[in-house]
Structures are given as structure tokens and as C-alpha cells.
Homo-oligomer: A and B are copies of this chain.
């Protein structure tokens, strides 16, 4: 899912620098959003955090909406890639897969996405950007979940089973925003991984 085009190993040093700047901006934007929320997140704040001039930031991302939406998408793609690589070696126990899927919804990326999501519910201007982002990231996460769980979606109900699991993961993420919910979450995940395993069959 390349967001960077024409900047492969064959590109010149200028493109390489531009790519690095872009990545710094995206990473700074996600941290900023997670820490300060949408109201406290502007292009200027992110540029400063990334050590990039405001002009350079605006060259990469002409609007605030584009910067933050691209940032959440970039980090989501990185986490998807990492998740695929984690289970690259072959079939894994479903409990381990469920744990890894739930982990997608804890931490900085989820906090940042949540801030954007909630802000978009009150801001007309932001909404189409976030709706599109949500749809793309949601589809990709569903694909990965089906693949790693070895779920056969041609069986009636299996698609909804996987969807419900991801909804639960999102709800567990929300429960972790205000307080460290790690211990409770581990118990819920153990229980529901077993229920899911039985529901999906061999």
C-alpha cells in the first residue's frame, strides 16, 4: 500500500531527503494528536516537533486535514505490515493472533485515530477525510484478521464473526484510553479467543 511513489532506492538524494521529512512529519503528527487532541494539533506544532520548517510542512501537506489523515494512515500501514511480518513464519495459535489484533487498538496510533474520529463527528470539514481513512484502514484490518485467523468467509456467519472480534478490539482500545486496562483486557482476550476458536472451527 505504497503512499510514497517514485522514491525507491533508485531515487536521488533530494527525493530521499523529502521522503525522510515526510516520514518525520507523519510520525510527529500522530504523537501530537495522541497527546494533545485535535484542538491542540496544528501544522505549525507538528512542523516544530518534527524539526521541519512550516513552509516545508505545507509543501508536503497543504491542509491540516490532509496532514493528520495521512499520518494516521501511514502509521496504520506500518502496523499492518508489522503484523503480517510477525505471523509470516506460518500458522499461529488463534489466541496469539487475537492478542496481536487487539494490540492494534492500544497505544499511540489508536489514541491518535480516536482523536481524529471524534473530532470528525463535530467538524464537517474533517469528516469526509476521516470516513475515507476509516473505510480503508478497516478493510485492510479485516483482510489481515481473516488471513491470520485462517477464517473461511465462504461459510455463513464467519464474516460477521471476524467483524465482531474487531469491534470488540476497538471497544477494548477505548477502555484503555483513560486508565491502564492491561490486566482486565488480558483476561477478556483469553476468554474470547477460546470462544472465537470454537466458533470458527478448525
Binding site for B on A (CB under 8 A): 35-37, 39-40, 111, 114-115, 117-122, 127, 130-131, 134, 157, 160-161, 163-164, 166-175, 177-179, 184, 187-188, 190-192, 194-196, 198-199
Contacts and interface: CB of A to CB of B under 8 A. Distances in A.
B122 A190 contact: no
Contacts of A190: 160
Q: Specify how many copies of this chain sit in the oligomer.
A: 2
A160 B187 contact: yes
Contacts of A111: 121
A190 B163 CA distance: 12
B117 A178 contact: yes
A118 B194 CA distance: 31
Contact of A199 (B37, B120, B163, B195): B195
List of 10 A-B pairs having minimum Cβ-Cβ separation, nearest first? A171-B171, A170-B171, A167-B171, A160-B191, A168-B168, A37-B122, A164-B192, A164-B188, A118-B118, A195-B199
Nearest to A192: B164
Contacts of A134: 178
Nearest to A40: B122
Contact of A171 (B122, B169, B195): B169
A111 to B, nearest CB: 7
A157 B178 CA distance: 25
Given A192-B161, A199-B195, A122 B170 contact: no
